[in-house]
Amino acid sequence: MNALTPAESREILLVSHPGRAEIIETAHRVAKIFADAGIGLRVLADEADSTRFDCEPDTPGGTAVAEPGGYPARVVEHCPDAAVGCEMVLSLGGDGTFLRAAELARPAGVPVLGINLGRIGFLTEAEAEHLDEALASVVRGDYRLEQRMTIDVNVRVDDEIVETGWALNEASIENASRMGVLEVVLEVDGRPVSQFGCDGILISTPTGSTAYAFSAGGPVVWPELEALLVIPSNAHALFARPLVTSPESRIAVESVAAGHDAIVFLDGRRTLALPKGGRLEAVRGAEPVRWVRLDSAPFADRMVRKFQLPVTGWRGRRRTEISRGMAAGGAGGVGEDSGMAAGGAGGVGED
């Protein structure tokens, strides 16, 4: 995939989960593979100790060395510019570590590659046992990029914007006091939809549909389908169903003036204050997050693997039937087994 030239300097930022027992060994393995390939490595100043990259204290921009082994890395401050000039950000951990890596990758306009050291790791691309193969693909430049939409949000008080933020997974509006219910009015594209009391309400991307929104009863949305999802949490209402709206929609949630203050959690990492009587607006993010993909496995396979879904008894369609159906469709007609051909032509086949 990659249009790298031999003369092009390559550097990768490492973001790791400091609480993982295997993180030191894994980080040093990464350092060795990249050093052998002539690829530079950056480590964050606040992670250098946990990954045992020994360096002079308080010397961001200096050189650290992975001990034992002596593999070099450049120490940088944990700031929005940490990944500027890098080829990618490499995340070692679970989904939380990936989201932290995305915070650094997005402003730099570089992609993220996640290696799962956690439990589910739905956002990650490869498991720890396949680390060497994944890094070999990076060394060869043998990967492709995928863009995932984000959400831009703002909080308005008296029609003035007081706070802004963004999220890759979701913006979760929750009752700040945890007492009683949060009274809100939901608006889509400038029109009121419903008023109800709830524990909270989530505005999610398709990427976030397998995260908090999934636990709240929202639909699973394939990531290549761009949309904005709205999922009320424990709503006390006759109509408070999850909504799937256009990616160009403008979603607004107004907190009732006589109700409670709320907090907006962005990917569970950043917060905005939504005072009673305030208004949160959410739209498609101006900047996507770029994803490193190493394989072309269907999303359904990833979902089955990550959630360990039972598929015993699945037979699928026989290859001869599929071939016969496609041939019939290609001849201008629709055969009995031509669901794929008919569907591909804009119709819906029987299967």
For the annotated catalytic residues, the residue numbers are 95
Q: How far apart are CA 175 and CA 299, in angstroms?
A: 34
The helix or strand, by DSSP H or E, that contains position 152, with its residue range, turns out to be strand 151-157
Which pair of structure tokens corresponds to residue 108? 């730099």
Which among 241, 244, 262, 266 is positioned nearest to 253, based on CA atoms? 262
Q: Could you write out the DSSP letters of every residue in 179-239? A: SS-EEEEEEETTEEEEEEEESEEEEE-TGGGGTHHHHTTPPP--TTS--EEEEEES-BSS-
Q: Which residues of 213-233 are buried (b: 16+ CB within 10 A; e: fewer)?
A: bbebebeebebeebbbbbbbb
Q: Could you write out the DSSP letters of every residue in 240-290? A: ---EEE-TT--EEEEE-TTS--EEEEETTTEEEEE-TT-EEEEEE-SSPEE
- For 190, other C-beta atoms within 10 Å of its C-beta total 8
The partner residues of 44 in beta bridges, in order of sequence, read 76
Q: Match 């959690």 to its residue by tokens.
A: 265
Contact 333, 165 (CB under 8 A): no
The partner residues of 321 in beta bridges, in order of sequence, read none
Contacts of 274 (CB under 8 A, 6+ apart): 155, 173, 255, 261, 262, 263, 264, 280
Contacts of 320 (CB under 8 A, 6+ apart): none
Count CA atoms within 13 Å of residue 224 on its CB side.
6
DSSP E strands: which ranges in 286-348? Answer: 289-293
- In degrees and rounded to multiples of 5, residue 339 shows phi and psi of -55, -40
